[in-house]
Amino acid sequence: MRREFTNGRNLCHPGVTRFATNFLSLQSFVLMKNELRQMFRLETGSLSTWIDKDQGNSFKKTKSVGRIAMTVAVNVSRFEAITMAPPDPILGISEAFKADTDAKKLNLGVGAYRTEELQPYVLNVVKKAEKLMLDKGENKEYLPIEGLAAFNKVTADLLFGSENPLIKQQKIATVQGLSGTGSLRLAAALIERYFPGAKVLISSPSWGNHKNIFNDARVPWSEYRYYDPKTVGLDFEGMVADIKEAPEGSFVLLHGCAHNPTGIDPTPDQWEKIADVIQEKNHIPFFDVAYQGFASGSLDADAASVRLFAARGTELLVAQSYSKNLGLYAERIGAINVVCTSADAAARVKSQLKRIARPMHSNPPIHGARIVANIVGDPTLFNEWKVEMEMMAGRIKNVRQKLFDSLSAKDKSGKDWSFILKQIGMFSFTGLSRAQSDNMSNKWHVYMTKDGRISLAGLSLAKCEYLADAIMDSYHNWQFILSSMSSYWQ
């Protein structure tokens, strides 16, 4: 497009030509914006310009004598003030792994189960449950806001025990959520609305999304001590002290089993003492249960901490997820459970959870809920599931043992690596620093989170020797380099 500007003679300003050539490129236009403004502030005699609306010319009509200012309409985005968000740390690891072409590469960042061949695994029992669903020809109608009734029943039974009097007395409000994240988010909204100003205590460290969830719900939080880097174990005394010092009536976020990211759980005796302190301070325990049955291979053992608090008559919240133990990562299936002191209170809490869910996601998806209901509700499928869970948990235990054996055999420094065997679940805190973790990725093509966490579910027995070599180099050699550099700069 080209427009000639007339002032008694034909004139094609070279800057106008350049602008016209790039007119269709918004990026070029924005870059030239300031130059254009100066270019059109011309001292001329008489000048008339016009706009041809049909052709979409962006020169507005301006008539003047003497000093002329020709105006250009600039299409600046209304979203100009929105900055680029930082990449998600876990998903960023996966992207870096995909871009790496080295044959020895390992992705130990994402918490997803892999086979010994390091391939995704769909449980056989899930395939059977899905076939049953197809054979029944069930429809895809909307679920109620609280979710599938059959799912809500079996998920509460699974967590608290089917014979638990709390269930029979209808003192538990259960609402289906969008996996663990969505269930936590529903609970966070409930806290913000009905416990204004109450603080949530989060372990240090914790799953990276915990803080995001409470920030988004505008719920204040603080951290309590959990991980002791000196022992690569639990800082139990620090944990108890911080819970004691928290304002009365705080919510204490606890990992039911297989703490993420450390893999470090309290012992049964320590759980009893934690419960004592929480009751003394009139706090409200808030459990995140993402690995029931997947941590130890036993559904009952992995729910012991939750059942301990419930048996004491404590009101509590529990978010559940079936991403790991049934491999339903993409189905987004979970639940939020609120244990109350009366059936009336539970009914009111459930009504408000539904009220919160309605504008948030309206109602949850049905496919994953039916899978869980069919498996847990059918004795044959349920037993098959337990066998598969034991197999998955067993493979991770074998990998954990093999890694420990490899590290112990290779390390001649006398360092004790037994903390790896004391951890449980799919994750292990290696004790590696950020710089050492970077060395793992940059030199050895082992991708992991920068806090030193690795996912043993993404490791095979065949790769344990290679991983041990990478850890040895990163821990000892890189530690020596850092120490030398520190001494040099001093």
- For residue 479, is pLDDT > 90? no
Q: Is 385 one of the catalytic residues?
A: no
Neighbours of 135 (CB within 10 A): 8
Does 324 qualify as catalytic in the annotation?
yes
Distance CA 77, CA 97 (A): 35
Distance of CA 148 to the CA centre of its chain: 24
Q: What average pLDDT score do residues 357-368 get? A: 97
Residue 351: closest CA among 156, 153, 193, 155:
193
Which of helix, strand or coil describes residue 432? coil
Band (pLDDT 50/70/90 cuts) for residue 439 is: very high
* Res 21 pLDDT > 90: no
> 207, 221, 444, 478: which is the annotated catalytic residue?
207
**CB-based contacts of 377: which residues, under 8 Å, 6+ apart?**
150, 154
pLDDT value at position 90?
A: 78
pLDDT in tens, 208-250: 999 999 999 999 999 999 999 999 999 999 999 999 999 999 9
> What is the longest distance spanned by two Cα atoms in the chain?
97
Query: What does 63-114 look like in DSSP terms, one character per residue?
Result: EEEEEEE--B-----TTTTPPPPPPPHHHHHHHHHHH---TT-EE-SS---B
446, pLDDT greater than 70: yes
- pLDDT higher than threshold 50 for residue 15: no
Structure tokens at 2: 């080209």
- pLDDT tens digits for range 92-150: 888 889 999 999 999 999 889 999 999 999 999 999 999 999 999 999 999 999 999 99
The per-residue pLDDT for 72 is 57
**Catalytic residue from among 242, 265, 288, 302:** 288
Question: Of 128, 171, 199, 324, which residue is the catalytic one?
Answer: 324
> Does residue 288 have an active-site annotation?
yes
